[in-house]
Structure 1
């Protein structure tokens, strides 16, 4: 998978869910959030990913479901670490280890493979949706898709930590 493929997937899903008001398409994708009902969106996913690989399929289903559950027409600008920091910016201990943001980040960084990450992400994406924080779905799709490769996993985890601990307003 390359950057263009992830961008194309995100763009087309956003157009189809929100541009054409295709409620059936959007409803199918929403089912992708739950592994037990994910098969409802396989006809959509089959154009982008080999359905025989459950982890690859799960990544696309989760990102597609998050897009379908939001009212956005363009991809967001924030990385996962930035978005998590923004979700807890008003909390007293937002960036230290005693705060809920730090605990969520530690759980995210503790993931050793894509399976672990796919267990943690749904609740995190739900939190970000509930706070109205838009994320860059194309970037997240790439990061999660390649998370099983050690070099990519380490790069991604360090990026998320850097984004979280760097003040999103531009201050350190």
Structure 2
């Protein structure tokens, strides 16, 4: 069962990227999936991917990630975790030392459940995508689907504060 879940996200995320690239109507509908006022318009798509529409903790992570993919200017999934992506979005302002980036991270870390974190992440993902940062939507979807406040948030914080040193090691 765990192997099935590991293989499900890459193909799901790749499928969403491919469909958004080839079908602008599909992408336009998905862009509305994370907005509480228009989310119902994307339910047909979510249901087609077997996302339970009546369970917020399962629907909202998919809606958030699918909408972010549809808004993204990327043609394929990135490789950065959420923390590193947030830090890189503020690279011009000092990355992990940026007060604005730290404030956004603190707001994420204050979340208690997946529903709240999805609400908080919506504008943050829009910022990350608008700056062309290559976030891994596959990893983000896994993190949200199996959200554990202590482990997931600690991982994101470590990713944020450790992201600069990882980049320097790779260069």
TM over 0.5: yes
- Structure 1 residue corresponding to 2:80, chosen from 60, 70, 78: 78
Q: How many Å separate the matches in 2 of 1:77 and 1:117? A: 21
Structure 1, 47-56 or 29-38: larger mean CA deviation: 47-56
Q: Secondary structure at the match of 1:71?
A: coil
Structure 2 counterpart of 1:125: 125
Q: Take 2:96 and 2:128, find their aligned partners in 1: how far apart are those partners?
A: 16
Matches within 5 A, 1:1-172: 2-18=5-21, 21-46=22-47, 47-92=49-94, 94-96=95-97, 99-147=99-147, 152-166=148-162, 167=164, 168-170=166-168
- TM-score w.r.t. length of structure 2: 0.88
- Any conservation in 2 of the 1:35–1:58 contact (CA below 8 Å)? no
Hey, what's the Cα distance between the residues in 2 that align with 1:56 and 1:71?
25
Report Cα offsets for 1:27-71 as digits up to 9, x if no partner.
Answer: 111110201111111111112311121221111111111111113
Report the 3-state secondary structure (helix = DSSP H, G, I; strand = E; otherwise coil) of the residue aligned with 1:43.
helix
Unaligned runs of 5+ in 2: none
What is the CA-CA distance between 1:170 and the residue it aligns to? 3.1
Residue 72 of structure 1 deviates from its aligned partner by 2.1
Tell me, yes or no, if the aligned pair for 1:32 and 1:65 is still in contact at 8 Å: yes
CA RMSD across the alignment: 1.7
Return 5+ residue gaps in structure 1 as ranges: none
Runs (4 or more) in structure 1 with deviation over 3 Å come to none
Cα-to-partner distance string for 1:94-136 (whole Å, 9 max, x where unaligned): 434x711111111111111112101110110011012111210
Conservation of the 8 A alpha-carbon contact between 2:79 and 2:135: yes
Cα distance in 1 for partners of 2:135, 2:96 equals 19
State the TM-score, normalized to the length of structure 1. 0.87
Higher helix proportion (structure 1 or 2): 2
